[in-house]
Amino acid sequence: MPYIESNGLKFHVQVLGGGVDDSGAKRPKVVMLHGLVIDNLSSWFYTLGHPMAQQVDAHLVDLRGHGRTEIADSGYHVADHVADLLGLLEAWEIDEPIHFFGNSFGCVVGLALAKQHPEKVASLFLIEAHFSVPGWGEHMAGTLALAAFGLDEVAVREYLATEADRKTSRLAKRTEKLFFGTSLIEDLKTETPIDWLDEIQCPVFAIYGSESDILDRARELEAKVPHCTLEVVENASHSLLIENAALIKSRAFAWLNTHVGTDFVVEHVDVASREGALGTMGAPEAMEVLNQMAAENRHLLDERAVPVRRVV
Percent of the chain with pLDDT over 90: 61
Q: Is the pLDDT of residue 65 over 70?
A: yes
74 vs 138: which has the higher pLDDT: 74
What is the pLDDT, as a whole number, of residue 293? 46
Mean pLDDT of 281-309: 44
Q: Is the pLDDT of residue 300 over 90?
A: no
Mean pLDDT of 45-67: 96
Q: Which residue ranges form the domains of the chain, and what is each CATH number?
A: 3-131+194-276 (3.40.50.1820), 135-189 (no CATH)
Which stretch of 37-41, 70-74, 165-169 has the lowest confidence by average pLDDT?
165-169
Distance of CA 199 to the CA centre of its chain: 22
What is d(CA 291, CA 285) in angstroms, rounded to the nearest whole number? 10
DSSP structural state of residue 300: G
Q: Are 249 and 54 in contact (CB under 8 A)?
A: no
What element of type H or E holds 138?
Answer: helix 136-149
pTM of structure: 0.83
What is the pLDDT, as a whole number, of residue 165? 46
DSSP per residue, 30-56: EEEE--SSS--THHHIIIIIHHHTTTS
145 vs 269: which has the higher pLDDT: 269
* Mean pLDDT taken over the chain: 82
- φ, ψ (nearest 5 deg) of residue 187: -65, -40
Q: Is the pLDDT of residue 23 over 80?
A: no
Helix or strand or coil: residue 92?
Answer: coil
Mean pLDDT of 53-78: 96
- Band (pLDDT 50/70/90 cuts) for residue 145 is low
What is the pLDDT, as a whole number, of residue 135? 81
What is the pLDDT, as a whole number, of residue 24? 75
What is d(CA 112, CA 103) in angstroms, rounded to the nearest whole number? 14
Q: Where are the alpha helices (DSSP H) in 181-271?
A: 184-189, 215-224, 240-243, 245-259
Which stretch of 86-90, 130-134, 230-234, 243-247 has the lowest confidence by average pLDDT?
130-134
What is the pLDDT, as a whole number, of residue 38? 79
Mean pLDDT of 30-55: 94
Q: How many other β-carbons are positioned within 10 Å of the β-carbon of residue 95?
A: 9
